Amino acid sequence: MAMLDLDGRVFLFDGSFEGLLTALAAALAQGAESARFRGGGGAGQGGLWEVPVRVNPDPERAAAFLGDVRRRLGEAVAGRVIHLWWAEREELFPPLYDYLRLGFGHGMAVDGYQTHPAVRAVLAADRRVVLEINRLSGLLRFRELADGSLYAPVAPDANVSLALARHFRGRLHGERWLIHDTRRGVGVSWDGHKLALGQVAAAPPGEVAEGGGVYHAQEGRIQELWRGFFAAVAIPERVNPELQRRCMPRRYWEYLVERPRPGGGGRVCL
C-alpha cells in the first residue's frame, strides 16, 4: 500500500534565482524530509496535503547558501545548481533539494550515489544543459550589422545565453556584439569592456537584403559565400543525415547561415 507524504511542504518563492536559493536554504534549515518549490509567488491550485511556506528572496542568504554549497560540496555541485535553474523546469527543484540534502550529509562524494534517483535526475539534467552550451558554442552564427557590431540570434531549450556570452567574451573580446535569445526576448551584449543582460524587443529580419536594412552592406554577400563554401567542401558520398542531426539538432537549424535557401540547390542535408 502506497503511503502518503504528509511532509508535503511547498516553498513558494518569487520566481527569481535568489528566491529559489533562499527557498532551498529555508527548506534545509527546517529539516524538511521532502519539499517542492513553486515560483511566481505560488499561483495555482494546491494539493490536499500541501503545506505552503512562503519565502521572500534574501540576496544575502542566497549568496551565503550558494557559497556554502561551493565550500562543502565543491564548485561542480554549485555549477549544477545554476544549470538546473537555467533548465527552467520546476519539476527538477525537488530532486535538486534531495541531492543537496544528501550532499550536505555525505560531502563531495554525493555524485557517487548514482543509485539514488535524485542524484541521477540532477546529473542527467546537468548534462543536458552543458551539452546545449557546448553545442551552441560551435553553432552560434554572428551577422554583421550596419554599425559594425555583431548579432547572433539563438533559441535554446535552456536559458544559456549568459553562458554563451562568457564563452564568446574570450573568443571575440575586441568586437561589439549581442547574443539574442529570441525564445525569451532577452539578450547579452558585450561592448568591449563588460557584459550586460537586458530585454530585446525584436530581432532584425531573418533574410538579409543585399546592401540594405539593419545589416552591413556586405553581410548578404558574405553569407552567400559561406553557403557556397559549405556546399563545395561537402562530400556527397559521405553525407550522413542521421549523424548530422545528432551533432546539429534540427531545432538549431533556423539560425545557421550556411543552411541552403529554399530552392537554392544546396547539396547538404540542412
Q: Tell me the per-residue pLDDT of 73-85, one tens digit each, with 9 for 90 and over.
A: 999 999 999 999 9
Residue 32 lies in a domain: yes
124 and 148 housed in the same domain: no
Of 108, 132, 156, the residue that ends a domain is 132
**Would you give the distance in Å from CA 269 to the centre of its chain?**
27
Same domain as 148, residue 243: yes
The whole-number pLDDT of residue 133 equals 98
Do 27 and 119 lie in a common domain?
yes
Nearest by Cα to 55 from 100, 11, 99: 11
Which residues form the domain of 217?
140-255
Residue 236 CB neighbours (<10 A)? 7
* 170 and 154 co-located in one domain: yes
Q: Is residue 262 part of a domain?
A: no
d(CA 23, CA 99): 15
Closest CA to 161 of 177, 145, 144, 176: 177
Domain count, the chain: 2
Say which DSSP state 39 is in.
Answer: -
Domain termination site, one of 132, 166, 190: 132
247 shares a domain with 151? yes
Residues 172 and 209 both lie in one domain: yes
State residue 207's pLDDT score.
Answer: 67
**3 within some domain:** no
Domain boundary among 132, 163, 192: 132
Q: What percent of the chain has pLDDT over 70?
A: 87
In a domain, 71, yes or no: yes
Q: At residue 39, does pLDDT exceed 80?
A: yes
Q: Using one digit for the tens of pLDDT, what is the confidence trace for 105-148?
A: 999 999 999 999 999 999 999 999 999 999 999 999 999 999 99
Task: Single out the residue of 136, 105, 131 nearest to residue 118, CA to CA.
Answer: 105
Which string of DSSP letters, residue by residue, matches 187-220? EEEE-SS-EEEEE---PPPSS--TT-TTB-TTHH
Residues 99 and 165 in one domain: no
Residue 1: pLDDT band (50, 70, 90) is very low
Q: How confident is the model at residue 48 (pLDDT cuts 50, 70, 90)?
A: low
188-216 residue pLDDT tens? 999 999 999 999 988 777 666 655 568 88
The secondary structure of 85-101 as a DSSP string is HHTT-GGGHHHHHHHHH
Residues 6+ apart with CB under 8 A from 132: 156, 157, 158, 160
What is the CA angle 260-263-267, rounded to 5? 50
Residue 222, pLDDT above cutoff 70: yes
Helix-, strand-, coil-residue percentages of the chain, each rounded to 5 = 45, 15, 40
